[in-house]
Structure 1
């Protein structure tokens, strides 16, 4: 691989414009494919065969206008007074126009609903009074009531019960200043076209009702708003500043940025080209952008840094490019491969949207690797010696200092480092013990967004549970006669009474009955919002009620659906898949590291460090987004459960990035050791050689990921924060503090490997050491190195092993 990459680097340096034009054409092709074949991005998530999805499928098949996504529109007067007749009329006109839009099943007018309910209540009251009068007259006359009269009384009693159970469901606030309309779409949230949502949002934005403010929920708001915002740009600028400081000039600092942006463009546009045939969540391309930018900058930086060092030693430009591509580029390919494998492994979870996210992110990382080993050498060839600053070019061949020989750290310092690092990571991981998973609701949106304002107004005026209405489906063993209104109402009351008996249920109302009478649907309003603990417990409790016994219809099976229920099922499914995925990642980590470092203990240290940094990152995410610590800094105004797929995504991403840092530091330790340095001196040599580039790379990743912490997308913020703090822990605490200290304490035994295993393991030569020869490194004379397979040669100045 090292020699192949060296040849590739030499080819790119000799024909730079051919390579650059090729990548520009690839970018154009990816963009064109996206424009031609790209489809919609799903604003919601679904997992096949979950209880919620099964109920939703039944609703969509049996009842029109019940299984589709439901958006909320809030109308509120600016002065807090009741709506005027003119305002009510204008609101009704807007609702009617929305109901006529393509993709909208119906739009419920809040004033019509309130009037119908008030009229029904009055009609029932009048009917009940008339019946009581009729019964009183018959009693005075000593006559028995007729069958018809008894049926009427039963119907009034049942209707009264249904009305009482739904008493807390209101569409107009008690002060008459706020009204809530429901927009019911034809499709579910995952299938809802962006064009349909946009058409509804545009209708509302253009309404312009004098004295009335209009807000609407996330089911209507454009979920891609803020895909790339100010925070992301600031993060990229911070990365650029780090590059300028490290490389000392604008030209070399611009190379990683140009390469990463090109790679992201090709990767994300190319992936989105498949969104027309593959269901893709709206957050999927954002993950690709985050990873593509971060690894793209870092991978290019590794190659540029190696090339600059060789030029300062007096190497020829093109030969230096080839050598840098074969050495640092070889390490980049291996490091990128670990990230790609970890992300592709998300497909083994059996969760479709996670598999797609992992595949898209893996594609973006793969493109970043290809850009680094082809496009970067081409740019380096065009830049030539300007990749060095004027001061550095003036000092070529005239070293102004002599590097001091590395010394082993004191053992006491290693012990203190282990205790300190482990203590920091364990303390940071404590909040993860109380980790709750869920999907963000309207309360997690930015305070200046219409989604947040709609959610807050509804919670304040109509109760928090109105934002998380559940749908309960009842399937009687014996179908009810849908044409027999009395029988239907009787069964509905029986079911509603059971549901209302739960303390966390505020109200229940019928939502529909299938034509064959085999399915009845109800809307259930819980006490608290969709992401609350009580609502989560309520979903489990309602499912636990099944089956309900009925005298006329036998056992009644209950199912629960709705956004809150779906989020709970998705969280449970992901939680169940996480241990399997973690086991796969850990197993993969051990196998790869044993091959690379030809050691048993080094992979165990590296993997243990990865687990510590992962749990520390999850603890930090829990403290910020679930507990609300430092909420003012990170924009967490309403703490709630942690994004349900964040742990599994963080596991895959941090594993890959941790292996990057382990590779660049650990390989230096191994090279020093096999070239004759004592084990503990080799630890210091490895850290010294890789420390600067690892620190810069980590700061760049933290900057890029940190920019997404302030994204306008609620689901992106915890991902960005988790990745940023995970890199912080892994690079600075684990790789630069804990791992070297443990390697020091283990000494020579850290590199122990059974002889039988040493014979069968392949020599991957990740560092590209086979390319270190006089032809490519002027002035360096080599001697055979003992202890390394494959005849690797070592510098003549390598210290003798003691």
Structure 2
């Protein structure tokens, strides 16, 4: 394998324009496919064969008018100091607030705290549970506004009202602040470790390209394969992690070979032939582990595993081909270790 990878590294270095063009074309095609593909819809997570899933299925069968996966909200009412929620005026305010929610387009049911006994022993606090026919991400703005309006009307009547539950939860979009912070930290660590913006940027650039292709392919296949945003998030995280890692292996080896006097093309071949072998075995291990999630028999886990495995496979291919190709373009800007540690070169 090392000999084969050595030849791949030298070939990619010599044919760097061809390799760079092929990967750029793959990125453009993947983005175009994602742009033309219809947007995928989020599906309820199901766990076939588990006791909890059987319970959800039974609830849906016995109570088809409700959604066992639907959003839920709680309105907690507290009477003013020295008063009780069971007092006539306060009780009327609570019932008016809950009554404004009855009959809403996505409201499955509301509980009356005075009938269900959801009133504290001292009579100062009561709460109602509102269930919806849709999950939190599918609730309309009108439904959410109705919940907030009900709470505001009760507050205007003198009650203290708090809203809980999942109805007002917002879903974070893939590629949010967490991923950006992670990339910034990774860039700082790479620059400090390698002592070169070019070397650090090369690792980040190749990782970004692999992640972009993987992310675009997940978006393009979302509808035919029923992929959710969770698959895209996993592909993004794994692609960034292993993409930076694998590119760093080969880049570090390339710099070591250059420090020992090898010509750029020879150094690229040796870097891929040696460090590339570790990349292949590491990537294969992660690929098999992720693909093995399909053995569990849970559709969502299978999709997540295959999406992550695809991102890892792309990271390996990018590291073995695009990284040595970029050495041909930017290798001279990557300082050799001996430039910072002269004593190492003299040993």
Aligned counterparts, 1:400-411, within 5 A: 401-403=345-347
CA displacement at 1:305 relative to structure 2: 0.7
C-alpha contact 1:19 1:374 (8 A) present in aligned 2: yes
Q: Deviations over 1:746-766 (max 9, x none)?
A: xxxxxxxxxxxxxxxxxxxxx
CA displacement at 1:308 relative to structure 2: 0.7
Structure (1 or 2) with the larger CA radius of gyration? 1
Structure 1 residues 91 and 56: alpha-carbon distance in aligned structure 2, compared to 1, 3 A threshold: closer
Give the counterpart of 1:337 among 284, 291, 296. Answer: 284
Query: Which residue pairs with 2:6 in the alignment?
Result: 6
Q: Could you list the runs of 4 or more consecutive aligned residues of structure 1 that deviate by over 6 angstroms after TM superposition? A: none
Q: Deviations over 1:108-167 (max 9, x none)?
A: 344xx457x4xxxxxxxxxxxxxxxxxxxxxxxxxxxxxxxxxxxxxxxxxxxxxxxxx5
Give the counterpart of 2:246 among 294, 299, 315. Answer: 299
CA displacement at 1:281 relative to structure 2: 5.8
Whole-angstrom CA distance in 2 between matches of 1:201 and 1:392: 64
Query: Which residue pairs with 1:743 in the alignment?
Result: none
C-alpha contact 1:108 1:182 (8 A) present in aligned 2: yes
Aligned counterparts, 1:254-653, within 5 A: 254-280=201-227, 283-388=230-335, 392=339, 401-403=345-347
Residue 27 of structure 2 is aligned to residue 27 of structure 1: yes
Whole-angstrom CA distance in 2 between matches of 1:377 and 1:201: 55
Using the size of structure 1 for normalisation, the TM-score is 0.37
Q: Deviations over 1:219-263 (max 9, x none)?
A: 6623x4265454444433332232122211111011112222222
Using the size of structure 2 for normalisation, the TM-score is 0.78
Whole-angstrom CA distance in 2 between matches of 1:391 and 1:285: 41
Query: Which residue pairs with 1:74 in the alignment?
Result: 74
RMSD: 3.7
Structure 1 residues 201 and 387: alpha-carbon distance in aligned structure 2, compared to 1, 3 A threshold: farther
C-alpha contact 1:344 1:359 (8 A) present in aligned 2: yes
- Unpaired segments of 5 or more residues in structure 1? 118-166, 186-191, 404-802
- Unpaired segments of 5 or more residues in structure 2? none
Whole-angstrom CA distance in 1 between matches of 2:119 and 2:125: 11
Q: 3-state SS of the aligned residue for 1:285?
A: helix
C-alpha contact 1:73 1:214 (8 A) present in aligned 2: no
Whole-angstrom CA distance in 2 between matches of 1:240 and 1:28: 25
C-alpha contact 1:264 1:364 (8 A) present in aligned 2: yes
Whole-angstrom CA distance in 2 between matches of 1:11 and 1:80: 79
Give the counterpart of 1:197 among 129, 139, 145. Answer: 139
Whole-angstrom CA distance in 2 between matches of 1:85 and 1:22: 71
Q: 3-state SS of the aligned residue for 1:215?
A: strand
Aligned counterparts, 1:159-238, within 5 A: 167-168=116-117, 174-175=123-124, 178-185=127-134, 194=137, 196-197=138-139, 199=141, 202-203=144-145, 207=149, 209=152, 211=155, 215-218=163-166, 221-222=169-170, 224-225=171-172, 227-238=174-185
Size of the aligned set, in residue pairs, is 332
CA displacement at 1:266 relative to structure 2: 1.9
C-alpha contact 2:206 2:323 (8 A) present in aligned 1: yes
Whole-angstrom CA distance in 1 between matches of 2:335 and 2:147: 54
Whole-angstrom CA distance in 2 between matches of 1:228 and 1:205: 30
Whole-angstrom CA distance in 1 between matches of 2:99 and 2:16: 64
Whole-angstrom CA distance in 2 between matches of 1:168 and 1:27: 60
C-alpha contact 2:77 2:126 (8 A) present in aligned 1: yes
Whole-angstrom CA distance in 2 between matches of 1:213 and 1:258: 51
CA displacement at 1:204 relative to structure 2: 5.5
Aligned counterparts, 1:92-131, within 5 A: 92-93=99-100, 95-96=101-102, 99-100=104-105, 104=106, 106-110=107-111, 113=112, 117=115
Whole-angstrom CA distance in 2 between matches of 1:295 and 1:243: 14
C-alpha contact 1:251 1:387 (8 A) present in aligned 2: yes
Q: Deviations over 1:484-506 (max 9, x none)?
A: xxxxxxxxxxxxxxxxxxxxxxx
Query: Which residue pairs with 1:760 in the alignment?
Result: none
Query: Which residue pairs with 1:533 in the alignment?
Result: none
Structure 1 residues 92 and 22: alpha-carbon distance in aligned structure 2, compared to 1, 3 A threshold: farther
C-alpha contact 2:211 2:235 (8 A) present in aligned 1: yes
Whole-angstrom CA distance in 2 between matches of 1:84 and 1:25: 67
CA displacement at 1:311 relative to structure 2: 1.3
Structure 1 residues 8 and 383: alpha-carbon distance in aligned structure 2, compared to 1, 3 A threshold: same
Q: Deviations over 1:318-370 (max 9, x none)?
A: 33223322222232122211110121122122232222222111111111111
Whole-angstrom CA distance in 2 between matches of 1:13 and 1:28: 22
Whole-angstrom CA distance in 2 between matches of 1:78 and 1:19: 68
Query: Which residue pairs with 2:197 in the alignment?
Result: 250
Structure 1 residues 364 and 60: alpha-carbon distance in aligned structure 2, compared to 1, 3 A threshold: same
Structure 1 residues 198 and 29: alpha-carbon distance in aligned structure 2, compared to 1, 3 A threshold: farther
Structure 1 residues 389 and 92: alpha-carbon distance in aligned structure 2, compared to 1, 3 A threshold: farther
Whole-angstrom CA distance in 2 between matches of 1:77 and 1:237: 45
Structure 1 residues 333 and 69: alpha-carbon distance in aligned structure 2, compared to 1, 3 A threshold: same
Structure 1 residues 350 and 109: alpha-carbon distance in aligned structure 2, compared to 1, 3 A threshold: closer
